[in-house]
Amino acid sequence: MNCRHCKAPLKHTFLDLGFAPPSNAYLTEADLNKPEIYYPLKVKVCDSCWLVQTEDYAEADSLFTPKYAYFSSTSASWLDHGKRYVDQVIEELELTNKSFVIEVASNDGYLLKNFLHAGIPCLGIEPTGSTATAAEKLGIPVWRNFFGEALGKILSIEGKQADLIIGNNVYAHVPDVNDFTKGLKSVLKREGTITLEFPHVMRLIERVQFDTVYHEHFSYLSLYTASRIFATAGLRIWNVEELPTHGGSLRVYGCHEDDARETQQGVADLIGQEINQGLQQLDTYLEFQPRADNIKNHLLAFLIEQKRNGKAVAAYGAAAKGNTLLNYAGIKPDLLSFVCDAAPSKQGQFMPGSHIPILPPEQLAEVKPDFVLILPWNIAEEVKTQNAKLAKSGTRFVTAVPKLSIQ
């Protein structure tokens, strides 16, 4: 296999998590009696452009789209994050009712509705039917497509070039990152701006976030590598912000390469920091697997100890990262009896691979488990606040990454 960006041969493995079912392939009760398909979950690193990327295998590009159960609006902190971004970007870019905003992977419209309320025309691009319908109900126009150069050109021909193109948590999910970036180039107005948010691979490595690895996630990006990909498409990253979301993300600001805006010092500074943290040395990547294994072993030891002591352990958050962790550790309902999730679309279903049942959050108050393992550690504080009553009655909250923590 060759690098998805620079086409150099991929010789080095960053992380091998064995085999796992697609992390969003939630199961119904009837599915539990059927065979389940597991795919290799291996991540490589390119020693030429340092793009960390999921290894290719049969059907990868078409597999992970049909019943995508994730609705952005189910997380309160994510809604706040979106609102703050929109307020900031409208002011910075001086957007008005004459501007045009496109969001790629607009999900259920949680972000674009803020532009709608501000009177700024917008368009969502979203291939997943269920979330697109939810956005349309809010009054947001949606094109139900995958985004790439071909669609970018069609949008451009239809007069839909954008002053602002937003891609939040989509850049890492596209199989062909070069084609996606060329699409951005095609649909960007002369002086337009692109903002993309994606998890920062520097933080993934530093904080051992191996559970953010799943099949749907094709790339793990540094600012250096993202800048290279932009440059290849005739674009330039001229500014960057670090965000706390998803354990540490970047928000990059892009423009056409010949745009009048100067590249900010912060871009070179952060690339310098990446180099200092070893992101351009192969050893940094090769040393990651044992660090991930250590976390898995500690969690397993904790769960087995609670089982021996007769303690009840439940989990919170049927998120993709939870599935990676549970499947890599081989955890089943004997060690973790159920997982609660606020999304009605997941309740009553089962976690892929581990077959742990997904129940509504109210179940926690009924059962009062001794421990609640919070799988999406990025919203741990939110979950603890929502369940403050439970903590008062003696339940303790546990997170496994970056190391086992019991509070």
Give the DSSP H/E element, type plus range, for residue 243.
Answer: strand 235-243
What lies within 8 Å, CB to CB, of 180 at 6+ separation is 147, 148, 149, 171, 174
What value does the CA radius of gyration of the chain take, rounded to a whole number of Å? Answer: 21
By the rule CB under 5 A, 282 interacts with Zn ion = no
By the rule CB under 5 A, 45 interacts with Zn ion = no
Task: Tell me which residues in 120-149 interact with Zn ion (CB under 5 A).
Answer: none
Is 24 or 225 the residue whose CB approaches Zn ion more closely? 225
Give the DSSP H/E element, type plus range, for residue 316.
Answer: strand 313-316
By the rule CB under 5 A, 3 interacts with Zn ion = yes
How many residues bind Zn ion (CB under 5 A)? The answer is 8
What lies within 8 Å, CB to CB, of 272 at 6+ separation is none
Is 52 or 166 the residue whose CB approaches Zn ion more closely? 52
**x-or-dash pattern for Zn ion, window 76-115, by CB under 5 A?**
----------------------------------------
What is the layout of strands, in order, in the sheet containing 396-399? 358-359, 339-340, 313-316, 371-374, 396-399, 405-406
Among 15, 17, 27, 46, binds Zn ion (CB under 5 A): 46
Distance in angstroms (rounded) separating the CA atoms of residues 95 and 110? 19
By the rule CB under 5 A, 6 interacts with Zn ion = yes
Among 15, 20, 25, 49, binds Zn ion (CB under 5 A): 49
* Stretch in the footprint of Zn ion (CB under 5 A) among 7-15, 95-103, 298-306, 359-367: 7-15
DSSP string, 73-95: GG-HHHHHHHHHHHHHHHHHHT-
By the rule CB under 5 A, 118 interacts with Zn ion = no
Nearest Cα to Cα of residue 139 among 167, 106, 104:
106
Among 40, 42, 48, 150, binds Zn ion (CB under 5 A): 48
- Closest separation in Å from C-beta 178 to Zn ion: 11
Is 278 or 361 the residue whose CB approaches Zn ion more closely? 278
Distance in angstroms (rounded) separating the CA atoms of residues 339 and 398? 13
Binding positions for Zn ion, rule: CB under 5 A: 3, 5-6, 8, 46, 48-49, 51
